[in-house]
Amino acid sequence: MAQRFGGKFSPDGTGPETSEERGAFRGATVDPVGARSNVLFVPPVVLAFTSIAGGATTLITGLLGAAALALGAWLLRDGLRAEAAYNARKVARRPGFPRKIAAALLAATGVALAAWRNEPGILAPVLYAAAAGGLHLAAFGIDPMRNKGMEGIDTFQQDRVAKAVDEAERHLAAMSDAIRRAGDRQVEARVERFQGEVRELLRTVEEDPRDLTAARKYMGVYLMGARDASVKFADVYSRTQDAGARSDYMMLLTDLEESFSAKKRKLLLDDNSDLTVEIEVLRDRLQRDGIRLK
């Protein structure tokens, strides 16, 4: 009897997906800071240079306006990244500081100072400031103003998870900084893939803070060890280009990735078990109350 085979390259695309087949850029995200926000650094430069030829009042006013515009553009970048992180998570708190709104106010202030420099008075600067602030908010929006998915979650536990996640992100950033010194694009891509698996575990813990105790060793001790190994590998490989060290480091990343993936699956399985228990308890209560379920 003929047997139908499936796989990665079969028409129906069946077959298990291994960690090697997922690719280095699985879960990769686009930097939310694009050309629209970067171009806002141009007006403060223009304003500063055009103020040099004027008198003392024109110079000081222009420099203050340029500083306000530059600070607003910088805050906008942080606000866009914070909003992207908020949107990417199922459970998230609103940003502690409304950076995008502050950026709009600074843009309005900078434009008002620039207008007052050319046309001293009250009406024109106010009108220009209102237009600049309104257009800024229309183009980039405002910051998220409410928490998301926080109903029924212990805020104390959530704070503990946030601190653990911040520590884990610092370890991942240190890994990336170290690996860049090695100058090997394949190794960098491999590290990015491992970090994607780690961040999936972090998101799992964020969505259910009760998993923190079970995952704390992975988020702290193991990531710290991965960071230290990355630093040592980068130091050795940048000097010697040792193929053996490269192979050992890649194998370490594979083992770590499989460990983190297995831990993530176990946490999700435990969450499903908790749900099953809750359902059975509710069914028993309904039956004791005389409510028959099909």
> Across residues 238-248, what is the average pLDDT?
87
pLDDT band at 13; cut points 50, 70, 90: very low
User: Residue 218 has what DSSP assignment?
Assistant: I
Can you say whether the dihedral through the CA atoms of 188, 194, 195, 200 is positive or negative? Answer: positive
Q: What is the pTM of this model?
A: 0.59
Phi, then psi, of 92 in degrees rounded to 5: -155, 150
- Specify which of 1-5, 11-15, 150-154 reaches the highest per-range mean pLDDT: 150-154
pLDDT band at 9; cut points 50, 70, 90: very low
- Report pLDDT digits (tens) over 105-153: 999 999 999 999 888 888 889 999 999 999 999 999 888 888 766 665 5
Q: For residue 293, give the H/E element and its range.
A: none
pLDDT of residue 8 exceeding 60:
no
> How far apart (Å, rounded) are the C-alpha atoms in residues 111 and 113?
5
